[in-house]
Every structure is written in C-alpha cells, then in structure tokens.
Amino acid sequence: MTLTSGSDVYYDPYDFEIDTDPYPVWRRLRDEAPLYYNEKYDFFALSRYHDVEKGMLDWETYRSGRGSILELIRSGMEMPPGLILFEDPPRHHVHRALMSRVFTPRRMNDLEPKVREYCRRSLDPLVGAGRFDFIKDLGAEMPMRVIGFLLGIPEQDQVAIKEHLDEGLRIHDDEDFVAKASDLGTGGLFAQYIDWRASHPSDDLMTQLLQAEFEDELGATRRLTREEVLTYVGLLAGAGNETTTRLIGWTGKLLSEHPDQRRELARDRSLIPNAIEEILRYEAPSPIQARYVAADVEHHGRRVAEGSIMVLLNGSANRDERHFADPDRFDVHRPLRRHLSFGYGIHLCLGAALARLEGRVALDEVLSRFPDWEVDYANAVQARTSTVRGWEALPVVVT
C-alpha cells in the first residue's frame, strides 16, 4: 500500500465494516493523511472541509462528466446525456437550467399539504401498534408517493418501481455495481408512462419535460428527445426517493439516541427545521463524491496527476473540527455553518428543498403520534450501497 503520509490509516469505501461507522477512519484521514491515496482502487481522497468545499467548486479541475461515483469513473462507461449529476459545462448548464424550470423551490414547498397527506396515510394505521419502521413504514413510502405524484406515476405502480430502483443501488462489491449501472439512464422502466403522456398531457413533470423548449449547448432551440426525457425521469425517480429515505432513517436513529432533544422538538416544533439541518450535517445521506482530475493539482505538498480519481468525502468534511465546533456532538440547537450534504457549487442538489420539506414534515407528523421511541437494533438493517449511507430497516418500539 502506497500512502501519502507516514500514517498507516486505511480507508476503503467498499469495506462494509468501515462503512458501518466511518467517522473514526475519516478523523484519522483529516489528521494524518489529508490527501490520502488508496492503491487497491487507485484513488485519492480529500477529507477536510476546506479541501472538499474547494474541490466541489472547482469543476474545471474536478470533473463529473465521467461519473461522480468511483465505480463509474473506473469503469470508463460513457454517460448518457441528461444525467446532470454526471455532466460538465456547457452541457451541464443547459440541462440544469431546464431542470430548474420544473423543480423550483416554490413548487416544492407548495407540495407540503400533499407530503402531510402521504405521511398521515402511512402513520395513522400504526397508532396503537406499539412499534413501526422508520424506513418500511415511512421513509420508503412517503418519498415514493411524492415523487410519483410529481412525475404522474399511478399509485398502483409506484411500489414496483421503488423496489426496482432499490435493487439497482444495492451492491455486494464494486463489480456488481458496475454491472447494474450498465443500464444507467436508459429509463426503460418509465417508457410506457412517457409514451402515454406524449399523447395525454397533464400538469405533471413528465408533461413539462416533454413540452419544454430550450436552447442546447450547440445553440439550437429544440425539445428533449424521448430518450432524454426517459433519462431525466429515471434520474428524478432515483434521486428523489433515495436521499429522503436515508434522511428519515437517520432522523429516527439520532432522535432515539438523544431523547432529551427529541422531547424538546415535540414541545417546540419551531426547532424542527434546524434539527433537520443538524441531522443532515451529522449523517450525510450521500457522504462520498468522486471526480475525474482534469489537470495536475497539488494538495498538502503532494501532486495529483491529471487522469487520477479524486474522492471528496463530504461526510467527513461535515465533521471537521476545523470548521465545526465539537463536530461529533449532535445538537439540534447548533448555529449551523454551511454543511456539504447536498454538495456545493454547480452540482448543488436540485432536490434539496424537497428533501428538507419531506424531512421536516415527516418528523413533525411522527412526533404528533409517537413522541417517544427506541430503535430495535436487533432487527435493524443497515443498507449497503456504493453512494449513500443509511438504513434498509429501522424498526422502533414506541414507548
């Protein structure tokens, strides 16, 4: 193993034991190897807040066009157009501007009554049962209903689509992910809905994407092709479900571990928005981003050559004591400086406003019915994916 310092610290994003609790390893990276090199998978990693923030802003050096997931960059796959997470300017600017038209913060906030309806539909039947699962009963249900409503997917089809998307994220090793990713962006799962909406327009996002006119990176005014719309819809469905599901799971775990803060939130709901920000900082749903290095660059006195892969550990940056006071302490009253859980710069998550809304409403509705709970760790299951951290099952006992 070739290291970038005299430290023997080892970080492996595919090691499930490390992934269970990566924070001790990430702390050692920040302290002992702020520029880290993993020889086995041939990538560098930055872990301090300043370095990660700067890397996210510098899209000219740290490129997303070959993928923003380590396995995708290593595989050499060609990314289909429309996956804005995996694009660089000028194409990225064109596609992001188009998505911004149909995914505005105001429109997302207007969804609050619908989000509450879906939360109540999920939670009301569980009152009096003595237990529920933050993922299976809420975290997987409500975001699926919301994104399905936005896209115009019939409710009877939403569960099957969610199961398909979940299976595509679940991995056993990096080769398994690349094999599954070979279908990335084709959107074949949504083809029948797109074809229906083409001849039966509605007020959903599918129809808006089909009808939107824009100027592409070549200067031509046009509409999206069928294949581009399929790619967009697949991206929205996957990203719209995944991040919020993980956020809701971490909400259940962290507030089980901090009952005094949970009870304070139950008494004073005005604290909930800040609590959601602290949960996002403390347990980033997507804590690992990767970039292709497009030009030689230097970090901490060492050179990283063009053609390398750089991993930006935003989950580590959120716990960097150089930026956050006492960062390993969970505190819903924390006066927050900017966390990096939704990224930063040109790839700042377009769905951040929706994820915040869903997290806030979900916590409010849970507290209205179940102000006290404890996690049933014997039956909890941590999810194993390459891109996110969270829970596949998080049952709790209502006390």
What mean pLDDT do residues 63-73 have? 93
What mean pLDDT do residues 187-196 have? 79
Q: Which of 352, 272, 388, 345 is nearest to 88 (CA)?
A: 345
What mean pLDDT do residues 313-321 have? 98
Across 40-54, 109-123, 172-186, 321-335, least confident range: 172-186
Q: What's 346's DSSP letter?
A: G
pLDDT, residue 3, reads 44
pLDDT in tens, 257-275: 999 999 999 999 999 999 9
Domain ranges for the chain, please list them: 16-398
pLDDT, residue 5, reads 57
Class of domain 16-398: mainly alpha
pLDDT, residue 163, reads 65
pLDDT, residue 1, reads 35
User: Does residue 112 register a pLDDT over 50?
Assistant: yes
310 φ/ψ sector (left φ>0, alpha ψ -120 to 50, else beta): beta
Across 93-102, 213-222, 235-244, least confident range: 235-244
User: 278 pLDDT band (50/70/90 cuts)?
Assistant: very high
What mean pLDDT do residues 340-362 have? 94
What mean pLDDT do residues 134-156 have? 89
Neighbouring CB atoms inside 10 A of 28's CB total 17
- How far is it, in rounded angstroms, from Cα 399 to Cα 394? 16
User: Does residue 41 register a pLDDT over 80?
Assistant: yes
Q: Which of 263, 355, 292 is nearest to 70 (CA)?
A: 292
pLDDT, residue 336, reads 85
Q: What pairs with residue 304 in β-bridges?
A: 297
For the ranges 97-106, 110-119, 151-160, the maximum mean pLDDT occurs at 110-119
Backbone angles phi, psi at 132, to 5 degrees: -160, 170
pLDDT, residue 320, reads 98
